[in-house]
Chain A
Amino acid sequence: MEDLNQHIDFELAAKFLAGECSVQEIETFEKWLKVRPENQKEFDDLKVIFEVDQSAPVIDVDAAWSNLIAQTSTGNHRIEPEVSVNKPSMMFYRVAAALAVIIGITAALWFMNDGAMNELRSGNQMASITLADGTEISLNEHSVLSYPQSFDGETREVTLSGDEALSGIAYFKVAPDKQNHSSSILLVEILR
């Protein structure tokens, strides 16, 4: 305890709490307490622990549980109890909110990366659609068009295919590209 800034001297603290300190030790200890608020706080924590009533009878949870089982199994207590909890605690809300925000950001980033493709299936009748860039497409029967929600890259790609064995047929009225001035159309056919 020579250096007043060091951590608590447990031996001295125990002596102090047990009332075994000499006058001089009390003086030293009280001086240390006043050095900084953390010291007092550290001592307060110890005081609470030291003063816990040790005389309380030991509660034997195992015995109590056996007792309870004996009491419930004598009657017709075969059906299981069901307890539903409606209102979670504040701590739960805090953790849940933090998780929700983080999971939300994760999900948003995930889906933005993915550039999710939409799919239009014409089925037994013709269908038409206007894409994000203004391109109008009329889709013949039994055709399937995959297209992105928006066109972000240098090219604007869509995929046309057919239902089952049929191949897809569609009319494109391609809107001029506002970002890239050259507007060429490239058709790639994959033979099956």
Chain B
Amino acid sequence: MCSDQASLSTTISNKQEFESLFRAHYAPLVGYASKLLGDADSAADVVQQLFVNIWDKQGSLEIEGSTKSYLLRSTHNACLNAIKHEKVKAEHSAQSMFGASETEQRDLLEEEEFNLKVRTAVQSLPTQCRKIFLMSRLQGKKYQQIADELSLSVKTVENQMGKALRTLRDELREEQKTTMRLVKSILWFLIGVNVFSIVMK
């Protein structure tokens, strides 16, 4: 969830830590690079190379700022380089993003992260619900068309679309709540310790 968490002195000293760094950021970064390059394959290559470079630096890598910002900056620059060296056909790329400020870059990355979460949530919808939702959203089909193709009533399609929307919304909210709950329980524990020591005095 909170992929922006960075502690004061994190050292990525083993494969497990490198892997969790990779798993937390790979997909959103590829999404980001895809937006810039207009091509998913080149985007995957660029981000993959970025992680290979991190692996290669062998302890000499000093990161200024949070890990996420560092990865975002590196991806952004790597995309610009890919365009410059004509590894990618420039006509599909989002020229407007090249001079984007750090905030704009971050917004785009956060949007990608959000989109990924929604897509993941769509994947875990019940089969029929997901099918109907994607026929509408992906193929742009009308309710009537969907009903005809699946031999269902329009009312059922309406119903399933509503259910999809509600489930997706609830799932995204649930994720935020889990983090909040953890932070809150730690705070309550510490407050409890304080109250206890005052009472015992």
Binding site for B on A (CB under 8 A): 9-15, 17-18, 20, 45-46, 48-50, 52-59, 61, 64-65, 67-68, 71-72, 77, 79-89, 91-92, 95, 98-99, 102-103, 105-106, 109-110, 113
Q: Are A59 and B191 in contact (CB under 8 A)?
A: no
CA distance A89 to B10 in the complex (A): 13
- On chain A, the residues within 8 Å of B158 by CB distance are 11, 14-15, 20
Shortest CB distance A71–B (Å): 6
Q: Are A87 and B12 in contact (CB under 8 A)?
A: no
Given contacts A61-B23, A109-B201, A110-B197, contact A56 B34 (CB under 8 A): yes
B30 within 8 A of A: yes
Shortest CB distance A96–B (Å): 8
- On chain B, the residues within 8 Å of A15 by CB distance are 143, 158, 161-162
Q: Are A61 and B26 in contact (CB under 8 A)?
A: yes
Given contacts A11-B158, A68-B22, contact A50 B166 (CB under 8 A): no
Interface residues of B in 117-134 (CB under 8 A from A): 118-119, 122, 134
Q: Are B138 and A55 in contact (CB under 8 A)?
A: yes
Q: Classify the interface of chain A: helix, strand, loop or mixed.
A: helix
Q: Are A68 and B48 in contact (CB under 8 A)?
A: yes
CA distance A71 to B22 in the complex (A): 14
CA distance A82 to B64 in the complex (A): 14
CA distance A79 to B163 in the complex (A): 50
Q: Are B118 and A14 in contact (CB under 8 A)?
A: no
CA distance A98 to B188 in the complex (A): 12
Binding site for A on B (CB under 8 A): 2, 4-15, 18-19, 21-23, 26-27, 30-31, 34, 40, 44, 48, 51-52, 54-68, 114-116, 118-119, 122, 134, 136-138, 142-143, 158-159, 161-166, 168-169, 172, 183, 186-187, 190-191, 193-194, 197-198, 200-201
Beyond A82-B13, A109-B198, list 7 extra A-B contacts (CB 8 Å). Answer: A14-B161, A49-B118, A49-B168, A54-B137, A68-B55, A83-B21, A84-B62
Given contacts A54-B122, A71-B52, A106-B194, contact A91 B187 (CB under 8 A): no
Shortest CB distance A1–B (Å): 12
CA distance A10 to B160 in the complex (A): 10
Choose from B55, B138, B165 the contact partner of A72 (Cβ within 8 Å). B55
5 example contacts (A-B, Cβ-Cβ < 8 A) are as follows A20-B143, A68-B51, A82-B57, A82-B58, A99-B190
Shortest CB distance A6–B (Å): 14
Q: Are B115 and A53 in contact (CB under 8 A)?
A: yes
Q: Are A84 and B63 in contact (CB under 8 A)?
A: yes
- On chain A, the residues within 8 Å of B66 by CB distance are 85, 87-89
- On chain A, the residues within 8 Å of B4 by CB distance are 89, 91
Q: Are B115 and A20 in contact (CB under 8 A)?
A: no
Choose from B23, B138, B169, B197 the contact partner of A109 (Cβ within 8 Å). B197
- On chain A, the residues within 8 Å of B10 by CB distance are 83-85
Q: Which 3 A-B pairs have the closest CB atoms?
A: A11-B162, A82-B59, A10-B162
Choose from A10, A81, A85, A92 the contact partner of B58 (Cβ within 8 Å). A81
Q: Are B31 and A56 in contact (CB under 8 A)?
A: yes
Q: Are A88 and B169 in contact (CB under 8 A)?
A: no
